[in-house]
Chains A and B, each alone.
Chain A
Amino acid sequence: MVFEVRIHGRGGQGVVTAAELLSLAAFEEGLRAQAFPSFGSERMGAPVTAFCRISDLPIRLREPIAEPDAVVVQDPTLLHHVDVFGGLREQGFVLVNSKRTLAQLGLSELYDRHLPPRLRSTPASEIARERLGRPIANAALLGGLSALTAVVRLSSLVRAIEQRLPASVVEGNVLAARETYERVRSTLGEGHGALDGEATHA
């Protein structure tokens, strides 16, 4: 089993940390995970991409994720500027951080090429602002990703947040992750992302 996630955002939004948190959550479940960034100069606001490759076998591969199983877009201003969905597998998942729908974001064409139940947007920044006091949506979005894909359990994600983030922001991030998880989960009716209730890595 291999599950590859690509996360897009801008410098300062914790994109690299998001990939790391995801890898930590996978590690908690006894999986192997490799998280790594791809960035230009260290600068606030520059587009940043981070990758997380998850597998039940040791990972030897060292290449950027060109055909992701899931794409997370932390900053919707990247849409239409950066090819965030490039290479997304036909059965891939999409989670965009926005209070608007994918159609409103001009992404209707995704529905043609991919499976609609696997494509979601969620207002993670708003949730984060409420729970954290700041619109840093990385952990929140991972909660949504967990609900959408079941690649890792929410409880693993929570443990990762507790281990990796500074103590002062752990509570807020855990709440944001949980809330986003519930929110995305509630939009998944029949035919939800993890088909038939099974985790994708069963």
Chain B
Amino acid sequence: MPSQIEGSLAVARTVARCRPQVVCAYPITPQTHIVEALSRMVAAGELAPCEFVNVESEFAAMSVAIGASATGARVYTATASQGLLYMAEALFNASGLGLPIVMTVANRAIGAPINIWNDHSDAMALRDCGWVQLYATDNQEAADMHVQAFRLAQECSLPVMVCMDGFVLTHAVEPLEVAEQQDVDAYLPPFVARQALDPSAPATIGAMVGPEAFTEVRYLAHAKQMDALDAIPGLAAEFERRFDRASGGLLGGYRCEDARTVIVALGSVFGTLQDVVDERRADGRTVGVLAIKSFRPFPLAELRAALADAGQVIVLERAFAVGVGGIVSADVHAALAGLRVPIHTVVAGLGGRAVTRRSLHAMLDQAHAGSLPELHFLDLNTQLVERELARMREGTSPGPHAENILRELGIVAAGPV
């Protein structure tokens, strides 16, 4: 029975049913509702035994998680944006130590300039930290992915981050199912650590490894993620059998089978894209959309199989690599290497700019007309940008671009100080 609740609350309740023993988190928009809900559940005794630790920074949050997980406890935390970056060192440490921590990332842009709205630059900035990275296409999947994440984490001895679009998903109220406790218990057995801090069997964890062994240790981390690639589809299938709804897995396609044009995307824009695909198809155009749900490990073979027959591929990204271009599309290129499928990168939705059906249709019109550039920024205000570039070329030191642009848009009072 679904409840009409906020995405954050569905995640919090689902996480609670996964029986975390330690929850440690630092507040950052837009993840706060999740940890506030968990804090209330712990305080009210609804989630027990569980220690809720109010930490002094995100770096501390992940560090507390490391200590707790190394002691054999099931651990959960959540963050976004600047917070994810602030714990960067600890993220690498957690994955290097093989700790099965699960974390929600409420995707949000990275500053400067400071921006609290949704895009994927935070998780993308840490795509190689050794964590499994899953991207939820809607709130139901976001909640359900956490159950699968805890299971994946403890089976593969890897930390897992579940990415859900900040505000767009976290703050949306809609009909959502929260997995039942007995079903979660049946799906997710208690966590038994492979190696734990325990006086009855003392172990040294976190030793220095020199050149003679480091390569092997790092190779094994890669091998573990490849194991996860095998495990993820099985866990998703088992989830569907037990909970009677599909969620997770490596990829999620919608009307891709005979599609000439396939849009590849991550996260909640998948929903909007499904509407766009239906509208295109009603017009006789064969368009499909393919969601990447497991970004790390990256499903190279599965993606290749799914896109091999496409006429063209558009990778719609909510982040980009400054000085290079697409991030996801680089991996898509690798997956389709050798195949003659044209791939376009469209950067959209940065810093919370809405990705609308109208803009997506315009993009597809360009694609069908063959005039979509290889790298395209959707809805870029080119006049604004050109004026700023002209200012730079003039040689007068233009100051921070953000201030100039805001002044142009009339958001900031015009005129020199």
Contact = CB atoms under 8 A, between A and B. Distances in A.
Query: Do A and B come into direct contact in the complex, CB within 8 Å?
Result: yes
A38 B166 CA distance: 12
Given A60-B275, A62-B268, A63-B354, A37 B167 contact: yes
B272 A24 contact: no
B208 to A, nearest CB: 45
A36 B168 contact: yes
B246 to A, nearest CB: 14
Given A36-B168, A41-B116, A63 B173 contact: no
Contact of B4 (A23, A60, A62): A23
Contacts of A66: 356
A33 B5 CA distance: 11
A42 B32 CA distance: 12
Contacts of A63: 272, 354-357
A108 B29 CA distance: 40
B272 A59 contact: no
From A38, A60, A62, name the one whose CB has the most chain B CB atoms within 10 angstroms: A62
B174 A61 contact: no
A36 B171 contact: yes
A61 B357 contact: yes
A35 interface: yes
Interface in A11-33: 19-20, 23-24, 27, 32-33
Interface in A116-150: none
A38 B356 CA distance: 15
From B4, B173, B271, name the one whose CB has the most chain A CB atoms within 10 angstroms: B173
A76 interface: no
A34 interface: yes
Given A33-B4, A36-B168, A37-B167, A60 B272 contact: yes
Interface in A28-86: 32-38, 41-42, 59-64, 66
A59 B29 CA distance: 25
Interface in B66-125: 116
A34 B140 CA distance: 13
Given A27-B4, A63-B357, A64-B354, A35 B272 contact: no
Given A61-B357, A62-B268, A66-B356, A36 B172 contact: yes
Contacts of A37: 167, 171
B174 A32 contact: yes
Nearest to A164: B4
B189 interface: no
A123 B167 CA distance: 32
Interface residues of A, number: 21
Given A36-B171, A37-B167, A24 B271 contact: no
B167 A62 contact: no
B175 A32 contact: yes
B24 interface: no
A45 B116 CA distance: 19
B269 interface: yes
B404 interface: no
B233 to A, nearest CB: 23
From A27, A33, A37, name the one whose CB has the most chain B CB atoms within 10 angstroms: A27
Given A23-B4, A27-B4, A62 B174 contact: no
Given A36-B167, A63-B272, A20 B173 contact: yes
A64 B358 CA distance: 12
B57 interface: no
Interface in B168-189: 168-169, 171-175
Contacts of B171: 36-37
Contacts of A42: 29
Contact of A62 (B116, B175, B272): B272
A37 B171 CA distance: 7
Contacts of A64: 354
Nearest to B168: A62
Given A27-B4, A37-B171, A60 B269 contact: no
A24 B354 contact: no
Contact of B271 (A19, A23, A35, A62): A62
Nearest to A163: B4
Contacts of A60: 138, 270-272, 274-275
B391 to A, nearest CB: 27
A57 B29 CA distance: 31
From B167, B172, B268, B354, name the one whose CB has the most chain A CB atoms within 10 angstroms: B172
Nearest to A19: B173
Given A36-B167, A37-B167, A62-B168, A27 B271 contact: no
Contacts of B175: 27, 32-33
A24 B321 CA distance: 41
A32 B176 CA distance: 11
A59 B357 CA distance: 14
A130 B271 CA distance: 43
8 contacts: A32-B175, A33-B174, A34-B172, A36-B168, A60-B274, A62-B165, A62-B269, A63-B356
Given A36-B168, A60-B272, 12 more contacts: A33-B173, A33-B174, A34-B173, A35-B174, A42-B29, A60-B138, A60-B271, A61-B272, A62-B169, A63-B272, A63-B355, A66-B356
Task: Report the 7 A-B pairs with minimum CB-CB distance, sorted nearest first.
Answer: A60-B271, A27-B4, A36-B172, A35-B173, A34-B174, A60-B274, A62-B268
